Every structure is written in C-alpha cells, then in structure tokens.
Amino acid sequence: MKDTIKKHTEEIEKKVKSLGPIKLTILLIMFIGTICSFVLHDYIFTAESVFNRGISDSQIVNTLLSLVPKIIQAIRVVTIILVITTVALGILNRAFKKNQRQITVVRLINSIVKCVATVIIVIAVLAIWGINTTALITGAGVVTLIVGLGMQSLISDVVAGLFIVFENEFNVGDIITIDGFRGTVTSIGMRTTKLEAAGNVKIVNNSDIRGVLNQTINPSTAKVLIDIEYGESLERVEDVIQTQLPEIEIEGIIGEINYDGVATLGASGVTLQFTAECHESDIFAVQREMNKRLKMMFDGNGIGIPFNQLVVHVDKDNE
C-alpha cells in the first residue's frame, strides 16, 4: 500500500516538473515583463504614452502601436492567472499527498482548476480587446443549456465522478472489480475511470459503474487447498502441520499461515485448507509461495499428494 501511494506521489511530482525548463523560462520572462508593465504603467497605458500619441505619419504604424498596450494587458492577465494557478497547484500537490484519497481529490481539483483558469483567461482577454463578455457569457449559457439537454450522459458521468471521489467509494491505487474486471485504479477523471491489470487498461464511464467490489479497504485472504492421500494418517499430518507450519515465513503475509482443517473429501484424496491474510496486491504471489512451501513441507515429511488414477477391477469369473 505504501509503495502504491509513493508511486502515485512521484507521478504527481513528475507532472509538476513536466513543465520543463523552457516553459518555466517563458513563464519567468512573462512574470518579469508583467512587473515591468506595472512599473512603467504611465509610459505605456496613458494617453501621453508613445503608443497612443500617433508619433508616425503612417496610419498603419500608429494603429499597430496602439495595439501594444492591449497586448501587454492581455499578457499581464494571462501571466497573473498562470502564476497564481501554478503556485496554488504546486502547494496543493505537495501538501495533500499523504494517502490515496488525498491524491485522488488533488488530481480532480487539478483538472477543475485548469478548466476554470482557461475560461477566466479567455473571458479576461476578450474583455481587454473590447468584446462584450456579458453578452458572450449569456449566449454561452443558452448554448450550454441546449447542448446540456443533448449531453445528459456526459453530465451523468461528471456527477457520478464527483460522488465517487467525495464519498470515498474507491481511490487511485485501490484494487477493485467492475463487471468482472479486476484491476488497479490508475485515474478517476471527470468522465471516466481507468483500471489497469497485466498491461490491459479498462476505461469505464463513471455513470456506468455499478456494484463495485473494493478489495483494498480490508486485508484479503489468500487460500490454498492441498490434497493428501487417503492412506496418510490425518493425525500424523496434522501433527506435522502444527509443528512446522509456524516456521514458514512468507513475504507479504500479515500475521501467519492458518490451518483451517479438512475442506472436502475428494475423489482421490483429503483436501486440506490453508489461509493467510495479505494485501490484495500481493494475494497471487502469496498463494504461489504458499503452494511451494507447503509442498516442500509435505515432501520433507514423506506425506504423499495424490494424482488422478484409474483403478480397473477385473471380474475373474468372466475373464
């Protein structure tokens, strides 16, 4: 579990670092330019500035110069929003990464914040260029209503995703089963949830998730069934188990291996059941190692494990 949390924490840190030196350099230049624009405000934005006085005899040149203050304002707004968003997400990513739930919520918040920041940037830039954003927002609201009526499944996916996260049904890194597919949750998005198992990725719409089996909340039980021959003395076998089973140590087991007794009386042998608690992520490795170590224990004490046999009886009278 700790390894899973650490893995996803490293992934978040990589995403933060994925801006790269070039993008960080561009953002730094924009930030320095924004500070300079505030310092030189009177020289850029006032009516007496070189950009607004019409210093050239060419109307084209004067028009281009008059656009410079608007361009600087747009860059300034974009820079301020980007810096605030980057700092906020950086603090958020570093402060809330103690468990899977926090990692899942942080990823969802990252997506929401980026979408909101993009919308604010677009509206602010359009307002700087003199476009009536009020009418634009009103029109967008009407369009959203119309589109929303035809996108009910998308809205259902988004709402279902929010409930999954905030009700803590499962988190990134949990092992769950959906519609018979068992896998590790790699992401919980606004619309879909992704599961990964043995290199295969299953993508499920959030609104289609029903009857989830979360196998990570509590420790799982690894179960092993081993047959012994009917000719073996069950009393002797159980004495061996009682003596040597506590000595078997297997990585991944929580506690110790338990002998549960006779499970069934099979066609060719007596089936004994062994169980051990472990994390769901280790269950198959634990089962394989239990099979190996129990077989070695039985072999070392001369306890036979039966195999399928066909016994033929011949009627001597009709031979």
pLDDT tens-digit map of 71-125: 888 888 888 888 888 888 878 777 766 566 677 677 777 777 888 888 888 888 8
pLDDT at residue 290 is higher than 80? yes
> 137 lies in a domain?
no
Report the domain count for the chain. 3
Quote the pLDDT of residue 1.
46
Do 203 and 225 lie in a common domain? no
171-192 pLDDT tens trace: 888 888 888 888 988 888 778 8
224 — pLDDT class (breaks 50, 70, 90):
very high
Do 189 and 267 lie in a common domain? no
Do 56 and 171 lie in a common domain? no
Per the CB < 8 A criterion, the answer to whether 274 and 257 are in contact is: yes
CATH no. for residue 177? 2.30.30.60
> Which segments of 129-177 does DSSP mark as H helices, in order?
133-149, 152-166
149 — pLDDT class (breaks 50, 70, 90):
low
Quote the pLDDT of residue 2.
46
Query: How, if at all, do strands 270-278 and 200-205 pair?
Result: unpaired
pLDDT at residue 295 is higher than 90? yes
- Taking alpha carbons only, the member of 188, 186, 202 closest to residue 107 is 188
State the residue range of the domain holding 257: 220-300
Of residues 261 and 34, the one with the higher pLDDT is 261
Do 205 and 235 lie in a common domain? no
162 — pLDDT class (breaks 50, 70, 90):
confident
> 123 lies in a domain?
yes
pTM score of the predicted model? 0.52
**Residue where a domain stops, chosen among 198, 214, 230:** 214
CATH no. for residue 270? 3.30.70.100
Quote the pLDDT of residue 145.
63
Do 110 and 208 lie in a common domain? no
